[in-house]
Amino acid sequence: MSDAFAAKLKQRRRRRWIRVVFAVLVVAMIGAGVWAVWFSGLLVAQKVRVTGIEHLTEEQVLQAAEVPLNTPLARLDTEAIEGRVSELAPARRVEVSRSWPETVVITVTERTPSAWVSRDNRPWEVDAQGVIFLPVDSPEAGLPELRVDADDADVVAAAARVAHDLRDTDPALAGQVAAISAETQDSVELALLDGRAVVWGSAEDPGPKIRVLKVLLDVPAAVYDVSVPTRPTTRD
């Protein structure tokens, strides 16, 4: 064996050992990283930060969240925390994230009221989906009252949707509505501030109904029926 060949063979062996040692070091580093993130006490939940709340209190959110402190952040079940906080009626959407190295962030988007309903002898705010979510001392100015059975979720949802569609499409027209009543999902009626009434019917086709009603209100009458917007009627 020539000296040159022996030198090349030795060099190849050295490179092979270097690659092996490097691979071992990489695996060790990965293992140390996994241990630090998933199992050690280095990156554990020590703090909880709550954002986005207005009506809910931080204490209410923390109690509902039940974040297991001193648990590695990587092992936290964020979906479970989101689910628990979402059970709070004013919470429309909840997002839980990790802020390394020690903080859990709970971001709450609260419901927006579209109307109010009387329940347990006090006003409660109702959102566009008909969720009765917040008791208040007095209703927010401009919100119509829902004169419905507060225990009938389907009827509440239908009336609340009409309130939302009016406010979203034509705030000026919505401002003329004092109350919205309904006994069924298809028998929604509006009571205007000036004493006139509007037969709305179901919550479907809000756009055509609003356009027709705006024109129809110029006609002197006591009752305006837009339940079938292609065939509106009035009566004294």
Whether 177 and 201 share a structural domain: yes
Whether 96 and 178 share a structural domain: no
Whether 18 and 91 share a structural domain: no
Residues 6+ apart with CB under 8 A from 194: 176
Instruction: Answer yes or no: is pLDDT of 8 > 70.
Output: no
Encode pLDDT of 60-103 as tens digits: 999 999 999 999 999 999 999 999 999 999 999 999 999 999 99
Encode pLDDT of 103-141 as tens digits: 999 999 999 999 999 999 999 999 999 999 999 999 999
Q: What is the DSSP secondary-structure string of 17-76?
A: HHHHHHHHHHHHHHHHHHIIIIISSSSB--EEEEES-SSS-HHHHHHHH---TTSBGGG-
Cα–Cα distance measured from residue 160 to residue 143, given in angstroms and rounded to the nearest whole number: 11
CATH number for the domain including 216?
3.40.50.11690
Candidates 123, 130, 172, 166; CA nearest to 145 is 123
pLDDT confidence of residue 198: 98
What pTM was estimated for this model as a whole?
0.79
CATH number for the domain including 77?
3.10.20.310
Report how far apart the first and last C-alpha atoms of the chain are (Å, whole number): 118
